[in-house]
């Protein structure tokens, strides 16, 4: 039995009743569109918001990739690319370790939003650092490395958020549509980049990429606020401590003996005896 099924049997509130979109009426034309897309009404808002988040983030990443690639080749040439590819392997491993550590010390919804913002903020510093009087060519090299980190973080955020928002049955219908955001981003970025390059210049496209990543972070913030029951309000470390309650409950230990292990109360859990069931 999954955690959401446990929640339903414990509280009597079904999954669909907890979602805002299930309480808003949908016109017949909208239902027809959802039928063509193989979506249910209670899944529609979550799916389209995830699609918008993935599309905007991917557009920003693709703008950044093309801009950084052109700047890097102009500064270092193609002979330096093998060093970037070797460094990207270590960057992916390091990002995974840091991401896992953040989940142990912060609630999941904060980790998702914080990492989405941290993808964009360094781009502002890189744009300033590109001035010849400052770091110059070193900034281009650092941007190329950071772009590899952005790829890893964006995929982690997308997959983890979708995993939290949808059940196994729902994600079979919704994730193909969400993942098609990269195709939409390819089209949008390919059509808009030549125009933007002529309008603002290649270095300033990096600032526009930062704006797109921040818009994606704003959608992710809205998702974690609107669908807060899907995201735990405690870190994984506190969750692991809270799971130690279960052996005490099973042995019939008094509530006073569990006080040092009890998780803080939340909107879902008002009793020490049910804290252990809410895990990720």
Q: What would the pLDDT profile of 181-237 be if each residue is shown by its tens digit?
A: 999 999 999 999 999 988 988 888 999 999 999 999 999 999 999 999 898 776 666
Q: What is the dihedral of CA 158, 161, 167, 169, to 10 degrees?
A: -10
- The CATH number of 54-230, from 1.25.40, 3.30.2000, 3.30.1330, 1.20.1250, is 1.20.1250
Q: Are 64 and 123 in contact (CB under 8 A)?
A: yes
Please check the confidence at residue 101 and state whether its pLDDT lies above 80: yes
Rounded to the nearest integer, the mean pLDDT of the chain is: 77
Task: Report residue 177's pLDDT band, with 50, 70 and 90 as the boundaries.
Answer: very high
% of the chain with per-residue pLDDT over 70 = 71
Q: pTM for the complete prediction?
A: 0.74
Helix, strand, coil percentages, rounded to 5, for the chain: 80, 0, 20
Domain boundaries in the chain? Answer: 54-230, 242-277
């Amino acid at each position: 039995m999954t955690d959401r099924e446990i929640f339903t049997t414990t509280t009597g509130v079904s999954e669909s009743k907890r979602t805002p979109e299930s309480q808003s009426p949908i016109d017949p034309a909208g239902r027809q569109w959802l039928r063509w897309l193989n979506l249910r009404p209670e899944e529609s808002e979550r799916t389209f918001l995830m699609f918008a988040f993935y599309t905007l983030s991917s557009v920003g990443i693709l703008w950044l990739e093309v801009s950084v690639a052109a700047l890097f080749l102009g500064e270092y040439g193609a002979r330096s690319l093998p060093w970037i590819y070797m460094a990207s392997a270590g960057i992916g491993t390091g990002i995974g370790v840091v991401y896992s550590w953040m989940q142990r010390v912060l609630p999941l919804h904060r980790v998702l939003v914080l990492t989405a913002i941290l993808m964009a903020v360094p781009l502002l510093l890189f744009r300033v650092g590109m001035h010849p009087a400052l770091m110059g060519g070193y900034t281009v090299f650092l941007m190329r490395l950071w772009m590899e980190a952005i790829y890893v973080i964006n995929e982690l955020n997308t997959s983890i958020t979708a995993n939290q928002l949808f059940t196994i049955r729902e994600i079979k219908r919704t994730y193909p549509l969400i993942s098609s955001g990269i195709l939409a981003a390819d089209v949008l970025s390919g059509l808009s980049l030549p125009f933007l390059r002529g309008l603002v210049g290649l270095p300033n496209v990096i600032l526009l990429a930062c704006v797109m990543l921040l818009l994606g972070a704003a959608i992710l913030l809205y998702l974690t606020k609107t669908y807060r029951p899907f995201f735990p309000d405690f870190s994984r470390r506190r969750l692991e401590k809270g799971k130690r309650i279960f052996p005490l409950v099973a042995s019939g230990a008094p509530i006073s003996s569990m006080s040092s292990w009890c998780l803080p109360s939340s909107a879902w859990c008002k009793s020490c005896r049910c804290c252990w069931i809410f895990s990720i």
